[in-house]
Chain A
Amino acid sequence: MNMFSMIAEHMYIVFIAIAIAVVLGIFFGVVAYWVRYLDKIILWLTEVLQTIPSLALLALLMIVFGLGNTTIIVGLVLYALMPIVRNTFIGLNDVQPYLKDAAKGMGMTKLQRLIKVELPLSFPLIFSGIKIATVNSLSIAVMGVLIGAGGLGFPVYRGIQTRSLELILMGAIPVVLMALVFDYVMSNIERRLTLRTSDTNK
């Protein structure tokens, strides 16, 4: 078992999942913000996804997508949607009305306002959602081993099967360290982003 390749594969799975979740999450957050009557249902659906037990969701996905990395990536995306969609929605709603009015007054279209004013101003909050999703995904990705995916779940599961604490720790320590490092680094970035926009956004 090569430690480096397992860490690399773990990160690869999480990054792909987060990348997809960011695109989808911001998209659905914007849809919820633009289309008033859809907001409740979109937020509710992402919350429902989050509520489904992970083992159950992964087992169900395995029935559809089979064994392998694809299945765990789909599962992680579904779990990551909630924090990103919710924070995008709240962030867009919290942009000061006078800024929205000013943008409208300058003759910006709806799309221009979104891209040039509203999304940049809500980015710190969106980033905070991405942080939560990333840290959670690092931990949930360990379960990928149960549905035939690679990553650090492999030594953990092997350790459970052979009752070897060493093997379990070999997988667990890198996962927890990565989660803590990502949390620390992304919290710092988040703080800087918030400082930069705080004088205009509240």
Chain B
Amino acid sequence: MTLIDFLIENQRDMTNNLLRHIELVGISVFIGIVISIPLGIVLSRHRKLAGTVLAIAGTIQTIPGLVMLGFALIFLGIGMLPALVILSLYAILPILRNTYTGITEVDPSYTEAARGIGMTNMQMLFKVELPLALSSIIGGIRISTVYIVSWATLASYIGAGGLGDPIWTGLATYNTKLILSGAVPSAILALVLSGLIGLLQRILTPRGLRGVRV
């Protein structure tokens, strides 16, 4: 059986795996965003706390994926939910760090000007700081997404499904075609998502800031 025949025969499996993978990535990145953007804003107001929180988040990030997988398996069991918990945890740090640095690196002259024309704290946040930090925040979302596409292939091991399924089975049975049918789509998915979010980042950057490296 050639690779082409194999692909045609397993088309439905591959499509299902791909859709499940996108689902896993979408949900966990969304949870990551919902947690880390507000947290990043709070941290930018309490800079002393920020060092500690970012250090803790950074340490969590150094825990290897396989180990996190083991923790999930032992403490949360198998299935999609444990996988989503772990993936969301991994999605937090890049977005959190970029939200924090994006806001804290806003030129003080802008915030002073905003203050000078009588903006309230909220107005300043939504009309000055967040728009200026947006490009950096989306950059964080892009890093998170790429990570999660990668970690999600691991999560298949604990029954989350997705493109990792054929890779794990292929590794266990030394089946090259199975490995390819998971590895190639997941690599392409990571590249496509990274490219799309990069494009979004460029579009959403305020016109005056384009061409300036953020």
Identify which of A12-20, A32-40, A171-179, A190-198 touches chain B: A171-179
Cross-interface CB contact of A52 among B151, B163, B187, cutoff 8 Å? B187
Given A56-B183, A139-B62, A156-B70, verify A48-B171 contact (CB < 8 Å). Answer: no
CB within 8 Å of B: which A73-90 residues: none
Interface SS of chain B: helix
Judge whether A172 and B64 touch: CB under 8 Å.
yes
Given A55-B154, A56-B167, verify A160-B146 contact (CB < 8 Å). Answer: no
Judge whether A160 and B73 touch: CB under 8 Å.
yes
A180 to B152, CA, bound (A): 25
Q: Does B6 contact A (CB under 8 A)?
A: no
A171 to B171, CA, bound (A): 22
A157 to B67, CA, bound (A): 8
Q: Does A114 contact B (CB under 8 A)?
A: no
Cross-interface CB contact of A160 among B69, B163, B164, B179, cutoff 8 Å? B69
Judge whether B64 and A142 touch: CB under 8 Å.
yes
Q: Does A2 contact B (CB under 8 A)?
A: no
Cross-interface CB contact of B66 among A59, A160, A176, cutoff 8 Å? A160
Cross-interface CB contact of A163 among B74, B146, B151, B190, cutoff 8 Å? B74
Judge whether B164 and A55 touch: CB under 8 Å.
yes
Q: Does A201 contact B (CB under 8 A)?
A: no
Contact with A along B92-114 (1 / 0, CB 8 A): 00000000000000000000000
Judge whether B154 and A172 touch: CB under 8 Å.
no
Question: How far does the Cβ of B187 sit from chain A's closest Cβ, in whole Å?
Answer: 4
List chain B residues, Cβ under 8 A from A146.
66, 171
Q: Which residue of B is nearest A158, CB measured?
A: B70
Question: How far does the Cβ of B70 sit from chain A's closest Cβ, in whole Å?
Answer: 4
Interface size in chain B (residues, C-beta < 8 A): 36
CB within 8 Å of B: which A27-65 residues: 48, 50-57, 59-60, 62-63
Q: Which residue of B is nearest A49, CB measured?
A: B187
Question: How far does the Cβ of A14 sit from chain B's closest Cβ, in whole Å?
Answer: 12
Question: How far does the Cβ of B198 sit from chain A's closest Cβ, in whole Å?
Answer: 10
Cross-interface CB contact of B170 among A59, A145, A156, cutoff 8 Å? A59
Question: How far does the Cβ of A132 sit from chain B's closest Cβ, in whole Å?
Answer: 12
Contact with A along B153-168 (1 / 0, CB 8 A): 1100100000110010
Q: Does B28 contact A (CB under 8 A)?
A: no
A150 to B67, CA, bound (A): 16
A159 to B150, CA, bound (A): 22
CB within 8 Å of A: which B127-172 residues: 146, 149-154, 157, 163-164, 167, 170-171
Judge whether A179 and B183 touch: CB under 8 Å.
no
Judge whether A55 and B64 touch: CB under 8 Å.
no
List chain B residues, Cβ under 8 A from A135.
62
Q: Does A92 contact B (CB under 8 A)?
A: no
Judge whether B67 and A142 touch: CB under 8 Å.
yes
Selected A-B contacts with CB under 8 Å, 5 pairs: A52-B187, A60-B180, A168-B67, A172-B63, A180-B62
* Given pairs A60-B183, A143-B66, 5 additional interface contacts (CB within 8 A): A54-B150, A54-B153, A60-B179, A168-B70, A172-B70
- Counting from the closest, the 8 A-B pairs by CB-CB distance are A56-B183, A53-B150, A142-B64, A168-B70, A172-B67, A55-B153, A179-B62, A52-B187
